[in-house]
């Protein structure tokens, strides 16, 4: 263990300074650096990473983000501390941070982006507060590829609608199919959100991962969606008191587990109806709604609004999923024989 022969103690601008060093020269340098940090109101590099993360969260995030997102950020902070180690922030090297990010490559791209964004913010705060002399130029690692969303064919849609009649998940799936809601949004719906006189459904909340109810995924998620006549007829038969859940289960709100079991049962019924394995996800019912909007000729900007997308580019990815019908229409429109015939008739 190193021996410190020199020590300096002082209360500087209300902050206690107690510094040890091996030589007088080293002591003077440390004292000057410490006072410069206090002058800049910076954070001491000896503060532990866990404490710095908590200070950052309480200063910049608490009461400025939703409760569920604040909890998620705390979990991400925990991952960062576990991955790098609860070291003094002044001793953390950029390579250690990058190594931690690289270790997250088994996660999805969206999860990695959340971890990267938080980690990058922490590193910027460390630099801004003079807690480190290092510059962090971090790279975002590639995550595992997620299965892209799909849309049901017309035949599969017919089979789904037939298979869910009388099923406990019938109303839940119908709302997703006819109104394009996210599963978390359907789970939070109450009857006061449904206006059967105007045939309008209002989306303004969602069930979060921890089972609590909060805001929608983004500000764009708050929206009004028209209710087709096929769905309004079913809703009338299920209507309850205004504050009752539209799609409830025995214990109240649907959870990921209850939805997984419900959808597994529906998939089995649809597979029997089709005669082959119906391997779609519940979320693909929402994608199908978007594709049906395209098929019906709904402009993409309106579709984006109905889907609650914050960026129209998200909608465009679904709109560009080629369906069998779209391919067949394109085939007829650009049939070589027809084009040649029209060209010859014009030249005659």
Same domain, 128 and 165: no
Total length of the chain:
348
**pTM, two decimal places:** 0.65
Same domain, 204 and 294: yes
For residue 294, the domain's CATH number is 1.10.443.10
Same domain, 230 and 303: yes
For residue 63, the domain's CATH number is 1.10.150.130
Last residue of a domain, one of 93, 127, 146: 146
Same domain, 231 and 254: yes
Same domain, 277 and 173: yes
Last residue of a domain, one of 100, 122, 146: 146
Residue 108: inside a domain, yes or no? yes
Containing structural domain, residue 114: 45-146
Q: Output DSSP code: residue 193.
A: G
Residue 346: inside a domain, yes or no? no
Residue 341: inside a domain, yes or no? no
Per-residue three-class SS string for 202-266: EECCEECCCCCEECCCCHHHCEEEECCHHHHHHHHHHCCCCCCECCCECCECCCHHHHHHHHHHH
Same domain, 311 and 165: yes
pLDDT 10s per residue in the chain (348 long)?
A: 457 788 999 887 666 788 888 889 989 988 888 787 766 656 778 889 999 999 999 988 988 888 878 999 999 999 999 999 999 998 999 999 999 999 999 888 889 999 999 999 999 988 887 778 788 899 998 887 666 678 999 999 999 999 999 999 999 999 999 999 999 999 999 999 999 999 999 999 999 887 889 888 888 899 999 999 999 999 999 999 999 999 988 888 999 999 999 999 999 999 999 999 999 999 999 999 999 998 888 888 999 999 999 888 888 877 765 455 555 655 666 665 454 444 444 444
CA distances from 300 to 202, 226, 272, 292, 311 (A): 20, 16, 35, 12, 11
Same domain, 180 and 281: yes
Residue 193: inside a domain, yes or no? yes
Q: What is residue 146's predicted lDDT score, i.e. its pLDDT?
A: 64
Instruction: Please give the tally of structural domains in the chain.
Output: 3
Hey, what are 257's tokens?
């587990």
Residue 339: inside a domain, yes or no? no
Residue 345: inside a domain, yes or no? no
Last residue of a domain, one of 119, 146, 173: 146
Same domain, 92 and 216: no
235 within 8 A of 194, measured Cβ to Cβ: yes
Q: CA 322, CA 101: separation in Å to the nearest integer?
A: 36
Same domain, 118 and 170: no
Q: Rounded to the nearest 10 degrees, how much is the dihedral formed by the CA atoms of 168, 170, 173, 176?
A: -120
Same domain, 139 and 27: no
Same domain, 74 and 37: no
Tell me the Ramachandran region of residue 175: left when phi exceeds 0, alpha when psi lies from -120 to 50, beta otherwise.
alpha
């Amino acid at each position: 263990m190193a021996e410190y022969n020199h020590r300096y103690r002082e209360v500087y601008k209300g902050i206690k300074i107690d510094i040890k060093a091996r030589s007088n020269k080293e002591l003077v340098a440390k004292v000057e650096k410490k006072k410069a940090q206090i002058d800049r109101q910076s954070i001491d590099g000896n503060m532990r990473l866990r404490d710095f993360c908590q200070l950052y969260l309480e200063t910049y995030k608490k009461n400025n983000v939703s409760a569920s997102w604040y909890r998620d950020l705390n979990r991400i902070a925990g991952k960062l501390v576990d991955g790098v180690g609860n070291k003094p922030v002044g001793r953390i090297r950029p390579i250690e941070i990058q190594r931690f990010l690289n270790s997250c490559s088994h996660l999805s791209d969206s999860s990695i982006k959340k971890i990267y964004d938080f980690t990058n913010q922490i590193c910027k705060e460390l630099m801004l507060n003079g807690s480190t002399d290092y510059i962090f130029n971090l790279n975002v690692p590639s995550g595992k590829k997620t299965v892209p969303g799909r849309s049901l064919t017309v035949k599969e849609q017919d089979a789904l609608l037939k298979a869910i009649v009388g099923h406990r998940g019938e109303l839940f799936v119908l709302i997703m199919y006819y109104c394009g809601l996210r599963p978390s949004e359907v789970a939070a719906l109450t009857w006061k959100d449904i206006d059967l006189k105007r045939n309008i459904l209002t989306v303004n909340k969602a069930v979060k991962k921890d089972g609590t109810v909060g805001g929608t995924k983004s500000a764009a998620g708050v929206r009004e969606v028209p209710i087709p006549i096929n769905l309004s007829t079913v809703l009338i038969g299920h209507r309850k008191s205004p504050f009752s859940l539209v799609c409830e289960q025995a214990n109240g709100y649907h959870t990921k587990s209850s939805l997984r079991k419900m959808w597994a049962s529906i998939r089995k019924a649809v597979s029997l109806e089709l005669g082959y394995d119906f391997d779609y996800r519940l979320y693909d019912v929402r994608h199908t709604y978007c594709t049906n909007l395209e098929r019906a000729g709904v402009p993409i900007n309106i579709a984006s609004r109905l889907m609650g997308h914050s960026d129209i580019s998200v909608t465009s990815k679904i709109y560009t999923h080629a369906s069998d019908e779209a391919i067949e229409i394109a085939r007829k429109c650009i049939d070589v024989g027809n084009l040649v015939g029209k060209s010859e008739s014009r030249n005659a």
